[in-house]
A and B are shown apart, each in its own frame.
Chain A
Amino acid sequence: MNLYHYIVRLADNSHILGHRLAEWCGHGPFLEQDMAMTNIALDLIGQARSLYNLAAEVQNEGKTEDDIAFLRYEYEYQNFLLVEQPNGDFANTIVRQYFFSAYQLPYYKTLYENLQNKNDHHLTELRGILEKAIKEINYHLRWSGEWMIRLGNGTEESHQRMVNAVQNLYKYTGELFIADETDDTSLQSGFGVLLPEVKKDFDKSLFYIMERSGLTIPENETMQTGGKQGVHSEYLGYILAEMQYMQRAYPNSKW
């Protein structure tokens, strides 16, 4: 059952961030970036679909990816607080994306390595999903990094918006690296990822890009936690209400 939780958490993060980015559809600052954001949204939702599918298989209770996505309650979602934060302005969306991708890339890469030569067919399938996702995340990190630099060094206004975004979001990065029971059990099972190692890579990416963007990492920030335990900020409920409305109002509806 732990593998189920482990996979669902990976999926929840991609799913909720994908949903957030999809909210930009038709509202991007200009056509090219409108499409860039919806492309990334589709990458993330694609990751979530594959992972939910696998989770349903692991669970083996005859459920589908849709059941897991649309019929769980807020406290059953294990995504980070970071990914459910509102889009805000373009700067806020960029910083949120950079923080998440700078975490997701080393995490997925390490997990991919650790899953090598595992004989369990669920783990082999997970590795296949990661292989595809890593290519996508490389681009997400590059895209958001480019914009960090452009906006950080852009006009006075763009710089100020970036400063505000970093100030607003940095406090949600703490829980990405705090291990809980699911993390510990995955380590005991021999494939888990050491979060302090991921944190080193994250810090390295962050330091690199902040320096080039003329931005500084906030010091002595009090970190917000809870997402991994299903204790969410006020925003997740609204996301789920919108996302799950159809399936709950018309159970088993298809389109």
Chain B
Amino acid sequence: MEKEMPLWEVFIRSRQGLDHKHVGSLHATDAQMAIENARDVYTRRQEGVSIWVVESKYITASDPADSDQLFEPAKDKAYRHPTFYHLPEGIKHI
């Protein structure tokens, strides 16, 4: 089945103005079928107004074994959070 019906990742936008979020995956022979299957599997309870699908093989993922070097170094750098900046009074729209 994997050969004729590869895996697709599904992204749904729940409302206008929001971004598409990954919701899961499914099997389909091509993009058209993937969209229709996604409609039937992931939007039955009014979850969305727009669907994106992409074949899973086109997604490059980070290697879990690299987690140490990729993500650990950020751990002790709490000062990168914008909460540490004091905003001058009177500034709007931020």
**Contact in complex: A39, B44 (CB < 8 Å):** yes
Stretch at the interface among B33-41, B55-63, B80-88: B33-41
Q: Which residues of A contact B37 (CB under 8 A)?
A: 32-33, 36
Residues of chain A whose beta carbon lies under 8 Å from any beta carbon of chain B: 30-33, 35-36, 39, 142-143, 146, 150
**Contact in complex: B40, A35 (CB < 8 Å):** yes
28 contacts between A and B (CB under 8 A): A30-B1, A30-B5, A30-B27, A31-B26, A31-B27, A31-B41, A32-B26, A32-B27, A32-B28, A32-B37, A32-B40, A32-B41, A33-B37, A35-B40, A35-B41, A35-B44, A36-B36, A36-B37, A36-B40, A39-B40, A39-B44, A142-B36, A143-B36, A146-B32, A146-B33, A146-B36, A150-B29, A150-B33
Nearest CB of chain A from residue B20's CB, rounded to whole Å: 20
A88 to B37, CA, bound (A): 22
Q: Which residues of B contact A143 (CB under 8 A)?
A: 36
Q: Which residues of A contact B44 (CB under 8 A)?
A: 35, 39
Nearest CB of chain B from residue A36's CB, rounded to whole Å: 4
Which residue from chain B places its CB closest to the CB of A143 in the assembled complex? Answer: B36
Residues of chain B whose beta carbon lies under 8 Å from any beta carbon of chain A: 1, 5, 26-29, 32-33, 36-37, 40-41, 44
Q: Which residues of B contact A142 (CB under 8 A)?
A: 36
A32 to B40, CA, bound (A): 7
Which residue from chain B places its CB closest to the CB of A36 in the assembled complex? Answer: B40
With a 10 A CB-CB cut-off, give which of A32, A143, A146 has the most chain B CB atoms. Answer: A32
Nearest CB of chain B from residue A197's CB, rounded to whole Å: 30
A5 to B54, CA, bound (A): 49
Q: Which residues of B contact A39 (CB under 8 A)?
A: 40, 44
A142 to B41, CA, bound (A): 16
A114 to B64, CA, bound (A): 63
Q: Which residues of B contact A146 (CB under 8 A)?
A: 32-33, 36
User: Top 8 A-B pairs ranked by shortest CB distance?
Assistant: A32-B37, A36-B40, A35-B40, A39-B40, A35-B41, A32-B26, A32-B41, A32-B27
Q: Which residues of B contact A35 (CB under 8 A)?
A: 40-41, 44
Q: Which residues of A contact B41 (CB under 8 A)?
A: 31-32, 35
Q: Which residues of A contact B26 (CB under 8 A)?
A: 31-32
A238 to B53, CA, bound (A): 42
Known: A30-B27, A33-B37, A35-B44. 5 other contacts (CB 8 A): A30-B1, A30-B5, A143-B36, A146-B32, A146-B36
Nearest CB of chain A from residue B28's CB, rounded to whole Å: 7
Which residue from chain B places its CB closest to the CB of A147 in the assembled complex? Answer: B33
Q: Which residues of A contact B33 (CB under 8 A)?
A: 146, 150
Nearest CB of chain B from residue A113's CB, rounded to whole Å: 28
A123 to B9, CA, bound (A): 45
A74 to B5, CA, bound (A): 42
